[in-house]
Structure 1
Amino acid sequence: MAQYNTLLYYCYSTIADGEQFAADHLKFCKSLNLTGRVIVATEGLNGTISGSPESCKAYMDTLHADERFASIDFKVDEVDSPSFVKMHVRYKDEIVHSGLRDPNIINPQDKTGIHLEPQEFLEMKDGEDVIILDVRSNYEHNLGKFKNAITLDIENFRDFPEKINELAEYKDKKIITYCTGGIKCEKASALLLHEGFTDVYQLHGGIIKYGKEAGGEDFDGKCYVFDNRLAVEVNSVNPVVIATCYNCGNVTDKMINCANPECNEHFTQCDDCGTTMQGCCCDACKEHPRKREYDGTGYYVKVPLPVNVKAGKVSLA
């Protein structure tokens, strides 16, 4: 039995005093000896939390007891070690950065694509009039994606609105959006509806829930996750590896961050190249004076970069 749990969740629900909530929530998480990352905004919560099963249960019970968060659908993974080193709770403008901040235009609490449970998605996804749309970033869908899914050339989700015009030919189709846990789809599907797409759906709970409840059938590759695991298995039915090593081109499903913290690029790299390149994406990063020691995982705790130097004192970001 695994010693720890990792929880993935989000909730669009109005939080009146988000900054104070964030401060209080950090204290609460630390009181349970949890690690992880939670983003708080006026529009809701977005979090990945890791800790003992008992602490994670207490966390889930507490949030579910709050009427604002009673509907949260926690995705629970059993892990051998905590998926984070520290606990961070931060207040931001959005719980997922999209640039779509006008609630009169995009408000997932008011209007969004029809939610499909994993089994419903499985039964619907291969229809002739169905388009499966991946709304994640390049490094995510390069590692793994659904068979025949449409992918977009985006570095961050905030680039998604600029790509809507590329989807115009599918306006008469049924469009099903998907992402890691469902949070991006809430805004992506809402934007599609706003732009005149009429038959819009989304995979409820995202890739992670689909893997747990429907076996992950036809999801090729691994799923990128935003913790020190970096990538997780999804498909237990017909798995394949689709990613290739950034350096040599050989097939690999290992995702890492570049060992140069000033690059920190997400990329796939086989173990042989990882050893040769010391976890770096290129020779320039390999020779960088701030290069971190590569331990084979390709995951690093973020270290603030110096942003201002005055009178011999260094201010940190």
Structure 2
Amino acid sequence: MYQVLLYYCYTPLANPEQFREEHHRLCLELDLRGRIIVATEGLNGTVSGTVESCARYMAAVKSDPRFAALEFKIDEVPAHTFQKLHVRVKPEIVHSSLRHVRPHEKTGQHLSPEEFKALKDRDDVVVVDVRSDYEYNLGRFKNAVTLDMENFRDFPERVERLKEFKDKKILTYCTGGVKCEKASAFLLEQGFENVYQLHGGIIKYGIEAGGEDFDGQCYVFDNRVAVDVNRVNPTVISRCQHCQQPSNRLVNCANPHCNAHLPLCEACGEQLQGACSDACAAHPDKRPYDGTGAYPKLSNHYNPAQGLASYKA
């Protein structure tokens, strides 16, 4: 049995390069795979590994006082959900236009899944999805306000659309919570007074509150692509890009120059060989379609103890 861990923590890291090196070695030792971002503002990651390896990893991370507030969202899976491991230093742990924002100092009030569930349908509340369009088109909370964003870095430009709700309680949500920390902090900075966030995001809401009233599926950043969240009143809201029939089967377009994230039913996937259009299906660089619509990069077996000589083609 394997697990997927989803986590983040905003906390000052004085030497992210050194931390990245040590953390990378730990993950290799435990045969964890996934994507981890290290920055001066904290840590953000999603990894897969055996139950034993994940337990050792969580214990190691939590033993560092800087990550005392970090919470892991844990999902059971039959095998690794990543093909390789990336541990990288970046300017931010989630790409945004809000590098000045410090969520560990000030952010929106955290709501547990049950608190969020109790508040979300009140007349004095507006629920705001701070994810990208391809994510919320696959699944979102009933009656949520979406912001037509290709990327989270567009969020500051979209805040103007929320001004009409300034007299309401703003409840933000995202996949695991990391984007809401900055989004809700920025809303407070812009003069919004009653700003909240779903602690642990959609994933924790599904685990602890059954996912009630989350329509569709939740996009995830691993080889599963999308997961079911709602065990109470599930429904499908996305439609096949080609035939417009209901479908929550999300793929990447087989044309690498397009690579769009979109719903494509099995029949249309076969017809277009994983492409989103006839033009992409005819592109000379189109990738071979294996029926999944996923194109993970395979491990190059890099080992920092051996340096560049350990890379394999």
Answer whether TM exceeds 0.5 for this pair. yes
Residues 1:54 and 2:71 aligned together: no
Counterpart-to-counterpart distance in 2, 1:152 and 1:145: 12
How far 1:288 moved relative to its partner? 2.0
Range 68-77 or range 185-194, more displaced:
68-77
State the match for 1:266 in structure 2.
261
State the match for 1:253 in structure 2.
248
Among 97, 100, 123, the alignment partner of 2:98 is 100
- Is 2:9–2:42's contact at 8 Å kept on the other side of the alignment? yes
State the match for 1:293 in structure 2.
288
How far 1:302 moved relative to its partner? 4.1
How far 1:262 moved relative to its partner? 1.7
State the match for 1:41 in structure 2.
39
Among 199, 212, 227, the alignment partner of 2:207 is 212
Task: Give the CA RMSD over aligned residues.
Answer: 0.9
How far 1:80 moved relative to its partner? 1.1
Task: Tell me the alpha carbon deviations over residues 169-206 of structure 1, each in whole angstroms, 9 at most, x when there is no partner.
Answer: 00000000000000000000000000000000000000
Report the residue type matching 1:46 in the other structure.
N
Counterpart-to-counterpart distance in 1, 2:35 and 2:119: 34
Q: 1:68 is paired with a residue of what secondary structure?
A: helix
Counterpart-to-counterpart distance in 2, 1:261 and 1:41: 29
Counterpart-to-counterpart distance in 1, 2:297 and 2:84: 10
How far 1:290 moved relative to its partner? 2.2
Report the residue type matching 1:203 in the other structure.
L
State the match for 1:72 in structure 2.
70
Q: 1:244 is paired with a residue of what secondary structure?
A: coil
Task: Tell me the alpha carbon deviations over residues 194-252 of structure 1, each in whole angstroms, 9 at most, x when there is no partner.
Answer: 00000000000000000000000000000000000000000000000000001110000
Among 146, 152, 155, the alignment partner of 1:160 is 155
Q: 2:137 is paired with a residue of what secondary structure?
A: helix
Residues 1:116 and 2:106 aligned together: no
Task: Tell me the alpha carbon deviations over residues 23-57 of structure 1, each in whole angstroms, 9 at most, x when there is no partner.
Answer: 22111101101110001110001100101000000
State the match for 1:229 in structure 2.
224
Counterpart-to-counterpart distance in 2, 1:254 and 1:282: 16
Which ranges of structure 2 fall in alignment gaps of 5 or more residues? 299-313
Q: 1:19 is paired with a residue of what secondary structure?
A: helix
Among 195, 201, 209, the alignment partner of 2:196 is 201
Q: 1:264 is paired with a residue of what secondary structure?
A: coil
Which ranges of structure 1 fall in alignment gaps of 5 or more residues? 304-317
Q: 2:65 is paired with a residue of what secondary structure?
A: coil
State the match for 1:10 in structure 2.
8
Report the residue type matching 1:95 in the other structure.
I
Counterpart-to-counterpart distance in 1, 2:175 and 2:138: 12
Range 141-150 or range 261-270, more displaced:
261-270
Range 279-288 or range 157-166, more displaced:
279-288
Q: 2:9 is paired with a residue of what secondary structure?
A: strand
State the match for 1:309 in structure 2.
none
How far 1:282 moved relative to its partner? 1.4
